[in-house]
Amino acid sequence: MKIVSPIAQHKARIEVIPLIDIMFFLLASFMMVSLTMTKQRTIEVNLPGAATSQSNLKPDSITLAVDARGGVFLEKENITLEQLDVMLKEKLAVNKDLPVYISGDAETPHGAMVAVLDYVRRCGVTKVAFNVKPLEKL
């Protein structure tokens, strides 16, 4: 004999609509966070400003930084000019149009920046540029 319960039995089900709402919220959050992320490949330097600056960094480029004492850094690692010569020649063998960006601290002596620029050009790099930050609009 089967005893019937006075409470109605409902099938268990998963509510999908709240899960979809959560997924859209997470997607929008990750998109907003990724827009604010920047790829910092060098040491932190205080860049001088320029009125005509624009961002054009490419992933297949080399970014060098020159600190206030004249030390040269490649992706946060201190590097000598001889090591830089070997590395640049290896990368130029693969890509002849390899762009090199040089960023210098505002307190870096002009001679140190010119020395790095001259050395990079002697290695055979034809696309060399200085990084600057945009001036604040008044």
User: Is 15 within the bounds of a domain?
Assistant: no
Q: What is the pLDDT of residue 138?
A: 44
Whole-number Å distance between alpha carbons of 125 and 38: 26
Element (H, E) at 114: helix 110-122
What CATH number has the domain bearing residue 85? 3.30.420.270
- Tally of domains in the chain: 1
The predicted-structure confidence for 41-92, as pLDDT tens digits, reads as follows: 656 666 666 666 555 555 577 888 888 888 888 888 888 888 888 888 888 8
pLDDT at 18: 87
Specify if 84 maps to a domain: yes
110-122 vs 81-94: helix crossing angle, rounded to 10: 40
Q: Can you give the pTM of this predicted structure?
A: 0.55
pLDDT in tens, 97-125: 888 888 888 888 888 888 888 888 888 88
Does residue 130 fall inside a structural domain? yes
Whether residue 30 lies inside any domain: the answer is no
For residue 87, the enclosing domain spans: 49-134
For residue 129, tell me if it sits in a domain.
Answer: yes
* Least confidently predicted of 6-10, 86-90, 93-97, 123-127: 6-10
| Residue 95 belongs to a domain | yes
3-state secondary structure of 8: coil
Residue 12 is assigned to a structural domain of this protein = no
More confident residue, 57 or 8: 8
Q: Where are the alpha helices (DSSP H) in the chain?
A: 17-36, 81-94, 110-122
Question: Cα separation of 118 and 121, whole Å?
Answer: 5
d(CA 126, CA 104): 19
